[in-house]
């Protein structure tokens, strides 16, 4: 793999596992120095060590995106350690349990999902933008990880609202940052096989039947899209939300299944 991100400094939040880990590994494999920023300090350190063992450059830092001081310290640490900052990936998330009855949603679940998914991304972006604006060659970039839940109905009301807000924030930040040359884009994944689904393989197999491409996604699918949007291959792309979702947004499997039922 070519060193597309050689000399880049990259921060990925929620990078100890899942999509964040795959994204960090992708950047490191392409030459970047990556900060694994995760609230789970032990898991983050293990991921960074594994990347280094594979020949990549990685550091770890405990980071709670719900805490401004923690965010500011992590971003500053990355910029100081790497000699600058070129890319921020806002991946940290919270997804409260789905409530079939919307009126059963608690204020606590709403506050948590919005604070981590949406306000957390704002905190990280606010801290990173001054550094990204100084990136050489106008290569500064933010990539937000949203979800198809922010584009259509897939349950998890609080999480979905937070991800829809993140898509809107992407557009806002893109316009705000454009004069500095910093690009801001978003990836909206469908169902991805991450540790959050551990022990629920039957659910994933069932979900795969709803996807036109016949499978759920893998973390590497999202990492590839993030790497593209962060790279200079996407130098004239900003404010875009890229669905990476196996065609689910273009499909209505339950409706077509209903049409296939023999009439009474």
Give 263's pLDDT tier (boundaries 50, 70, 90).
low
The structure's pTM equals: 0.94
pLDDT score recorded for residue 114: 95
Residue 253 belongs to domain with CATH number: 3.40.50.720
CA distances for 170 relative to 41, 163, 188, 226, 240, angstroms: 28, 10, 12, 14, 8
Give 254's pLDDT tier (boundaries 50, 70, 90).
confident
In a domain, residue 4? The reply is no
- Contact in structure between 185 and 143 (CB atoms under 8 Å): yes
The parent domain of residue 201 ranges over 9-259
In a domain, residue 116? The reply is yes
- Contact in structure between 60 and 43 (CB atoms under 8 Å): no
d(CA 72, CA 164) in angstroms, rounded, equals: 25
In a domain, residue 2? The reply is no
Give 110's pLDDT tier (boundaries 50, 70, 90).
confident
Which one is predicted more confidently, 4 or 253? 4
In a domain, residue 168? The reply is yes
What 3-state DSSP class applies to 75?
helix
Chain Cα centroid distance, residue 17: 12
In terms of C-beta density within 10 A (0-12 exposed, 13-18 middle, 19 or more buried), how is residue 228 classed?
A: middle
Q: Residues 62-108: pLDDT tens digits?
A: 999 999 999 999 999 999 999 999 999 999 988 776 667 777 788 89
Helix or strand (DSSP H, E) at 37: strand 33-38
Q: Would the pLDDT of 1 be above 60? A: no
pLDDT score recorded for residue 264: 60
In a domain, residue 234? The reply is yes
d(CA 189, CA 152) in angstroms, rounded, equals: 12
Beta bridge partners of 59: 35
In a domain, residue 3? The reply is no
pLDDT score recorded for residue 104: 74
Number of separate domains in the chain: 1
pLDDT score recorded for residue 259: 65
- CB neighbourhood size of 110 (10 A): 16
In a domain, residue 199? The reply is yes
Residues recognised as catalytic = 159
Triad 39, 200, 223: Cα angle to 5°: 50
In a domain, residue 101? The reply is yes
Q: Would the pLDDT of 166 be above 90? A: yes
Q: Would the pLDDT of 238 be above 80? A: yes
């Amino acid at each position: 793999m070519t060193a597309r991100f050689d000399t880049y400094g990259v921060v990925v939040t929620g990078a100890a596992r899942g999509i964040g880990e795959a994204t960090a590994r992708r950047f490191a494999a392409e030459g970047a120095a990556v900060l694994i920023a995760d609230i789970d300090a032990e898991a983050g350190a293990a991921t960074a060590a594994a990347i280094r063992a594979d020949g990549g450059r990685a550091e770890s830092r405990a980071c709670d995106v719900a805490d401004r001081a923690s965010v500011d310290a992590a971003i500053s640490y990355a910029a100081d350690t790497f000699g600058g900052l070129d890319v921020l990936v806002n991946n940290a998330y919270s997804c409260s349990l789905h409530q079939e009855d919307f009126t059963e949603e608690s204020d606590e679940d709403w506050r948590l999902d919005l604070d981590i998914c949406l306000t957390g991304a704002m905190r990280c972006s606010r801290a990173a933008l001054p550094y990204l604006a100084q990136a050489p060659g106008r290569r500064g970039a933010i990539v937000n990880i949203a979800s198809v839940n922010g584009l259509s109905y897939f349950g998890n009301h609080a999480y979905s609202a937070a991800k829809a807000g993140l898509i809107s924030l992407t557009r806002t930040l893109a316009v705000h940052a454009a004069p500095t040359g910093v690009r801001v884009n978003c990836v909206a994944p469908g169902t991805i096989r991450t540790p959050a689904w551990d022990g629920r393989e039957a659910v994933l197999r069932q979900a795969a039947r709803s996807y036109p491409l016949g499978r759920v996604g893998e973390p590497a699918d999202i990492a590839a899209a993030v790497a593209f949007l962060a790279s200079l291959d996407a130098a004239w792309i900003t404010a875009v939300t890229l669905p990476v979702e196996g065609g689910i947004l273009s499909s209505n499997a339950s409706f077509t299944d209903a049409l296939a039922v023999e009439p009474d």
